[in-house]
């Protein structure tokens, strides 16, 4: 099934302790964002990439898109003051002919084609679906640095991206959030406010978001592992 993907790329990398957008940090000689874009640019079912950027960085992203060697077109969209507002700007640009839209973190370069296909299938069936993995650690609730409760782990999922939606649902969810002045933690939370079901598509633990300097060590290890898989 054909889809369009929205990739927010306007972050400032504060937790990365970088002096610029973390997506320009290089992995094996290429910016993180290039690794991410390639996963969708090589997918024949991807109709268009809507890359949401900080206006101050638009020239850099323009050069990246002009040097783009893959067939899927990239359209640059100006970001807003919050991630949700950035995604809304891109949602407003989705075409009526597109049935499914994905929202994916620019800092998750290890998404795979099989996961994308499985996610889209679930979103087409249920209206909305998110990639997630079971929580591995014990989770405790605390107050003033003292534990108040141990949360039952079997019901907990760590949510990833992409998140996939029927375009009509995603547009309605963002419009309602804007109307109510609601700021959610992710796009799925906006759909949840419509009292609509959001399915879980089980992902994998390699689909990490590169957020802190420590994540770069894991990213390099995943790259090495993937090289070994390709050579087998």
At 11-34, the pLDDT tens digits run 766 666 566 789 999 998 999 999
Which distant-in-sequence residues (6+ apart) come within 8 Å of 216 by Cβ? 25, 27, 210
**Domain spans, the chain:** 3-128+161-231
- pLDDT at res. 68: 82
Tokens standing for 113? 């084609």
- Across all residues in the chain, what is the average pLDDT? 93
Would you call 193 helix, strand, or coil by DSSP?
coil
Tokens in use for 48? 């268009």
**Which CA distances in Å does 182 have to 117, 179, 188?**
31, 8, 13
Q: Which H or E run includes 157? A: strand 157-166
What's the alpha-carbon Rg for the chain, to the nearest Å? 18
Q: What is the DSSP letter of 67?
A: T
**Annotation: CATH topology of 3-128+161-231:** Spore Coat Polysaccharide Biosynthesis Protein SpsA; Chain A (3.90.550)
What DSSP string describes 71-127? SS-EEEEE--SSHHHHHHHHHTT--TT--EEEE--TT-TT--HHHHHHHHHHHHHHS
Q: Give the pLDDT confidence of 94-104 residue by residue, as tens digits.
A: 988 899 999 99
Query: What angle do helix axes 83-91 and 167-180 make, rounded to 10 degrees?
Result: 130
Q: pLDDT tens-digit profile of 118-152?
A: 999 999 999 999 999 999 999 999 999 999 999 99
Average pLDDT over residues 192-209: 97
Q: Has residue 36 got a pLDDT over 90?
A: yes
Q: Are 86 and 80 in contact (CB under 8 A)?
A: yes
> What would the mean pLDDT of 150-155 be, rounded to a whole number?
92
175-182, Cβ contacts within 8 angstroms, sequence gap of 24 or more: 177/84, 178/88
């Amino acid at each position: 099934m054909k889809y369009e993907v929205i990739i927010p790329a306007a972050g400032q990398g504060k937790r990365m302790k970088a002096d610029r957008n973390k997506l320009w940090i290089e992995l094996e000689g290429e910016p993180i964002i290039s690794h991410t874009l390639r996963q969708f640019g090589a997918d024949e079912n991807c109709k268009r990439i809507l890359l949401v950027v900080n206006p101050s960085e638009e020239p850099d992203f323009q050069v990246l898109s002009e040097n783009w060697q893959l067939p899927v077109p990239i359209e640059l969209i100006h970001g807003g003051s919050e991630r949700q507002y950035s995604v809304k700007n891109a949602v407003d640009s989705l075409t009526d002919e597109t049935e499914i839209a994905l929202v994916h973190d620019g800092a998750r370069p290890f998404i795979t084609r099989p996961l994308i296909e499985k996610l889209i299938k679930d979103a087409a069936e249920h209206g909305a679906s998110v990639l997630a993995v079971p929580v591995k650690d014990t989770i405790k609730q605390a107050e003033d640095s003292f534990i108040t409760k141990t949360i039952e782990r079997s019901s907990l999922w760590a949510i990833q991206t992409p998140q996939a939606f029927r375009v009509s649902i995603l547009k309605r969810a963002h419009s309602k959030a804007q109307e109510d002045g609601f700021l959610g933690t992710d796009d799925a939370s906006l759909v949840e406010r419509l009292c609509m079901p959001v399915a879980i598509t089980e992902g994998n633990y390699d689909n990490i978001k590169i957020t802190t300097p420590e994540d770069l060590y894991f990213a390099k290890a995943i790259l090495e592992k993937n090289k070994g898989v390709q050579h087998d």
